[in-house]
């Protein structure tokens, strides 16, 4: 009897803590949501007032009706999907090699990856622009993919290497003794066991490529080729901005990212990976 009550209290306590934390974290977002329903939003109103007096969908209809908006949305989606797939594939392969394989020069390669983590991409923008020009990848939507993949590899490889190292060595050994080569072990052992890690990688890779702004703006000129973050930035004027419009557009842009998140966080369930040890 005591146990059940203790558990109920523990649950209730958890809930209260979580709810408080969630409210603090989400408050700015709630304010953003509320402003997106306001018609006069050239200046932001009272921060404690979350309920707009005359809520309106005007901002949303205006955003969705903006010329090319649907096009930008699809452009971003295409680039993000392809880039994410490539990032996850290449980063997981590299991470597996670092975590599980031995080869001459391993230290050097890994150090070079760490170096990539510390280099701020803003600094590279002009040499990268010249590179894109020389590779004839300027002003092209597919041309964004190699750059997005290249800049995301260091981070995701490092992240996945950390996870792959947690896989019990005995499993690897077992498979090797059974005659499985590295590719087989990677594909049939490491990847399935690392669903949470791969899920994390997908979430981050998608978010990074979906939201990327600076490079896309630098490289893309044709209005048809542009991506969503550029479209949202264009709602900001030189002298004034209707923030309700910007917020409405931002919220629309957040939806796909949240969908990806919700899908892949299902992998974060304890006990998913432990069965494999027994089998």
Site for another protein in 12-41 (CB under 8 A): 14-15, 17-18, 21-22, 25-26, 28-29, 31-32, 40
Question: Least distance in Å: CB of 258 to another protein?
Answer: 6
One-character DSSP codes across 205-255: HHHHHHH--HHHHHH--SGGG--HHHHHHTTB-SS-B-HHHHHHHHHHHHH
Contacting range for another protein; rule: CB under 8 A; set: 50-58, 77-85, 131-139: 131-139
Closer to another protein by CB, 1 or 238: give it.
238
Q: What is the dihedral of CA 42, 68, 145, 209, to 10 degrees?
A: 30
Contact positions with another protein (CB under 8 A) in 235-274: 235-243, 245-247, 250, 253-254, 257-258, 261-262, 265, 267-274
CB atoms within 10 A of CB 131: 14
Per DSSP, what are the bridge partners of residue 236? 241
Q: Which of residues 72-111 bind another protein (CB under 8 A)?
A: 90-91, 93-94, 96-98, 100-104, 106, 109
Span near another protein by CB under 8 A; candidates 49-57, 75-83, 223-231: 223-231
Is 5 near another protein (CB under 8 A)? no
Q: DSSP letters of 128-162?
A: HHHHHHHTT-TT-STTHHHHHHHHHHHHHHHHHHH
Q: Which of 78, 221, 92, 239 is nearest to 167 (CA)?
A: 92
Q: Write out the two tokens for 53.
A: 């007096």
Member of 34, 84, 151, 209 binding another protein (CB under 8 A): 151
**Burial label, 201 (beta-carbon count in 10 A; 0-12, 13-18, 19+):** buried
- Interface with another protein includes 277 (CB under 8 A)? yes
**Of 49-57, 76-84, 144-152: span binding another protein (CB under 8 A):** 144-152
Piece in contact with another protein (CB under 8 A), picked from 49-57, 75-83, 152-160: 152-160
Provide the Cα torsion 150, 151, 155, 161; round to 10°: 0
59 token code pair:
């901002």
Q: Which stretch binds another protein (CB under 8 A): 49-57, 75-83, 121-129?
A: 121-129
Q: How far is the CB of 1 from another protein (least distance, A)?
A: 19
CB of 168 to another protein, least distance (A): 9
């Amino acid at each position: 009897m005591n146990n059940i009550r203790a558990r109920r209290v523990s649950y209730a306590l958890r809930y209260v803590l979580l709810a408080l934390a969630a409210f603090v974290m989400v408050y700015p977002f709630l304010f953003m949501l509320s402003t997106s329903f306001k018609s006069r939003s050239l200046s932001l109103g009272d921060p404690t007032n979350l309920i707009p007096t005359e809520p309106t969908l005007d901002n949303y209809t205006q955003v969705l009706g903006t010329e090319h908006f649907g096009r930008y949305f699809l452009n971003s989606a295409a680039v993000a999907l392809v880039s994410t797939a490539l990032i996850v594939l290449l980063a997981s392969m590299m991470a597996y090699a670092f975590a599980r394989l031995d080869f001459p020069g391993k230290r050097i390669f890994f150090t070079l990856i760490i170096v990539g983590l510390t280099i701020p991409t803003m600094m590279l923008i002009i040499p990268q622009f010249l590179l894109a020009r020389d590779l004839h990848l300027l002003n092209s939507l597919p041309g964004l993919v190699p750059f997005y993949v290249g800049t995301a590899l260091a981070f995701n490889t490092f992240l996945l290497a950390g996870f792959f190292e947690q896989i019990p060595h005995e499993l690897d050994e077992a498979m090797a003794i059974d005659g499985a080569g590295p590719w087989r072990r990677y594909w049939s052992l490491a990847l399935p066991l690392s669903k949470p890690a791969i899920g994390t990688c997908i979430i981050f890779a998608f978010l990074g490529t979906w939201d990327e702004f600076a490079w896309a703006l630098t490289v893309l000129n044709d209005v048809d080729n542009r991506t969503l973050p550029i479209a949202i930035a264009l709602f900001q004027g030189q002298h004034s901005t209707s923030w309700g419009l910007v917020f409405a557009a931002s919220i629309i842009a957040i939806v796909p990212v949240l969908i990806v998140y919700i899908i892949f966080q299902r992998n974060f369930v304890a006990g998913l990976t432990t069965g494999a040890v027994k089998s």
